């Protein structure tokens, strides 16, 4: 049936009718009907006892903070001795139901669209742009949040997934309130020797338009984040990825990608990288591409494109990362060619995520010269092995194993910000350059020390007959997730203006 909003738009002006597709959003359920959705849920319920028992067994591993707390309390390590055998027994007893659930769950993957979509009632419709005129600003955030099941997160020295998901959602939705409360002191003061758009910031920027997350692997965490962010972001794409047998590998985790947008999503597509190895083969890492409608001007749609990804992790597999980047670059262009209509104005084209390589390590030389940097611009980069003076590393951000003697830093994001402004602090808490096998590079002990920057937000301008010019207004390294993740979030603000050829035509 046609909604009242759509009927009113259909009777409106030509410009209003141009914005009509924004109301015709994607289907929310990843399944075409309730029967298939119900069978899929039944399979998950049958699998859950085994999944829960296995996760709890892995969760018996202590993080450094938990070990430190146990020593302070002088507690005996009886938890593993008592609960371990019980959990193992539960895992064995639940195997028959898990096998039945697997037989039901696997075939359902063929009918499942590889993402779920949440859409709230629109409170802000795409607007009519007055061009030429004042510039439009759009802000983006990308963050690896390490929301694995508790047992797997322990291998990154993080636990308490449910509490961290709640904290991350709170940080993402209280940027405006935090900014107004703390004021200008929350952003690092401009350093004369490092002038530029970069800053080290504690809170997330206010009024972020697009949030792109990686490692939201746990479905419960993804659903919780979706619930927390939905009052602020009307369009959310989550639970992204394919499960089950994909080629020669079994995908037990999704891609971990998660995207929230304040603007209507016109199209979305996910593709799984065919090349993978080791433990990374268990997750469906890939590329999520989204087209959003921003408005209209002079009878033309104004759209934006976002591409979010998470590349292969093991340091020694540089060729796999390069192949994934090449594949992702091709898929991003194919998605745009498929969904761009004649006359569309592309306001922005962003490619972001956790690339798992940096621009300072000799071991990442192959990735540093990849062709993606000829198509997209990295605001933090001058060229291979050379970053802007204000750029700093993003991984690992104050790992708990380093902070055990000073646990107060985990609870005070302002302290990491002050620490990272100094080279001594960056040298202490940020991972340094590595060799090809992943070992620290001893030849990189000199100054300056910025750390490994493996989280990226790239952008490009489209040389269309009518286009917009792009200017980087600000690039932020955000410390607010200290203690919630082993990465630092990054933010980008782009200022868009009408290109000279548009102004001439007008």
Helix (H) or strand (E) holding 198: strand 198-201
SS (H, E, C) 109-162: CCCCCCCEEEECCCCCCCEECCCCCCCEEEEEEEEECCCCCHHHHHHHCCCCHH
- Radius of gyration for the chain, computed over Cα atoms and rounded to the nearest angstrom: 23
CA angle at 112 for the pair 110 and 116, rounded to the nearest 5°: 160
Residues written for the chain: 506
The neighbour count for residue 44, using CB atoms within 10 Å, is: 15
Give 435-484 as a DSSP string.
Answer: -TTS-B-GGG-SS----B--EEEEE-----SS-EEEEEEEEEEE-TTBTT
| C-alpha dihedral (31, 33, 35, 38), degrees to nearest 10 | 40
- Alpha-carbon distance of 86 to 89, in angstroms, equals 5
**β-pair partners for 346:** 303
62: which residues sit within 8 A by CB, 6+ positions away? 70, 154
> Residue 439, Cα to own-chain centre: how many angstroms?
26
- Alpha-carbon distance of 294 to 146, in angstroms, equals 31
φ, ψ at 16 (rounded to 5°): -65, -40
Query: For the chain, what is the largest distance between any 2 Cα atoms, rounded to a whole number of angstroms?
Result: 77
What are the angstrom distances between the C-alpha of 255 and each of 41, 242, 319, 322?
19, 8, 20, 18
Q: Where are the alpha helices (DSSP H) in 213-342?
A: 219-229, 318-339
Task: Tell me the CB-side half-sphere exposure of residue 235, using CA atoms within 13 A.
Answer: 24
Q: Return the closest-CA partner of residue 478 out of 495, 491, 465.
A: 491
SS (H, E, C) 15-45: HHHHCHHHHCCCCCCCCCCHHHHHHHHHHHH
Catalytic residue selected from 235, 312, 462, 487 = 487
Is 487 annotated as catalytic?
yes
**Annotated active-site positions, please?**
487
């Amino acid at each position: 049936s046609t909604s009242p909003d759509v009927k009113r738009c259909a009777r409106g002006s030509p410009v209003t009718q141009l914005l009509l597709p924004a109301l015709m959003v994607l289907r929310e359920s990843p399944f075409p009907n309730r029967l298939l959705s119900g069978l899929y849920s039944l399979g998950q319920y049958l699998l859950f006892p085994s999944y829960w028992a296995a996760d709890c067994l892995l969760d018996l591993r202590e993080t450094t903070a938990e070990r430190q707390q146990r020593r302070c309390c002088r507690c005996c390590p009886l938890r593993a001795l008592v609960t371990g055998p019980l959990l193992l027994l539960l895992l064995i007893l639940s195997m028959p139901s898990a096998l039945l659930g697997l037989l039901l769950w696997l075939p359902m993957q063929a009918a499942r669209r590889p993402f779920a979509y949440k859409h709230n009632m629109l409170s802000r419709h795409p607007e009519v742009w007055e061009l030429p005129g004042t510039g439009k600003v759009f802000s983006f955030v990308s963050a690896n949040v390490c929301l694995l099941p508790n047992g797997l997160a322990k291998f990154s020295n993080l636990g308490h997934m449910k509490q961290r998901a709640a904290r991350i959602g709170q940080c993402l939705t209280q940027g405006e309130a935090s900014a107004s409360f703390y004021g200008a002191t929350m952003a690092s003061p401009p350093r004369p020797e490092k002038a530029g758009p970069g800053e080290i910031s504690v809170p997330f920027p206010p009024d972020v338009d697009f949030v792109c997350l990686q490692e939201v692997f746990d479905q419960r965490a993804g659903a919780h984040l979706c619930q927390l962010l939905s009052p602020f972001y009307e369009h959310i794409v989550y639970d992204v990825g394919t499960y089950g047998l994909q080629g020669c590998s079994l995908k037990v985790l999704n891609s971990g990608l998660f995207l929230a947008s304040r603007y209507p999503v016109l199209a979305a597509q996910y593709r799984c990288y065919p090349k993978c190895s080791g433990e990374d083969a268990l997750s469906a890492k890939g590329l999520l591409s989204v087209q959003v409608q921003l408005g209209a001007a002079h009878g033309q749609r104004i759209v934006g494109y976002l591409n979010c990804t998470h590349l292969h992790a093991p340091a020694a597999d540089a060729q796999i990362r390069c192949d994934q980047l090449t594949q992702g670059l091709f898929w991003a262009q194919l998605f745009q060619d498929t969904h761009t209509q004649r006359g569309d104005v592309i306001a922005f084209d962003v490619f972001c995520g956790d690339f798992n390589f940096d621009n300072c390590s000799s071991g990442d030389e192959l990735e540093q010269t990849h062709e993606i940097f000829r198509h997209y611009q990295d605001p933090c980069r001058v060229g291979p092995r050379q970053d802007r003076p204000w750029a700093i590393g993003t991984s690992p951000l104050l790992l708990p194993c380093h902070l055990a003697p000073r646990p107060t830093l985990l609870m005070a994001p302002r302290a990491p910000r002050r620490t990272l402004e100094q080279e001594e602090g960056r040298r202490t808490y940020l991972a340094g350059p590595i060799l090809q096998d992943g070992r620290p590079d001893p030849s990189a002990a000199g100054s300056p020390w910025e750390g490994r920057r493996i989280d990226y937000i790239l952008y490009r301008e489209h040389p269309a007959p009518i286009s917009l010019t792009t200017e980087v207004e600000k690039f932020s390294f955000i410390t607010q997730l200290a203690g919630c993740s082993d990465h630092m979030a990054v933010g980008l603000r782009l200022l868009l203006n009408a290109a000279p050829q548009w102004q001439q035509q007008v």
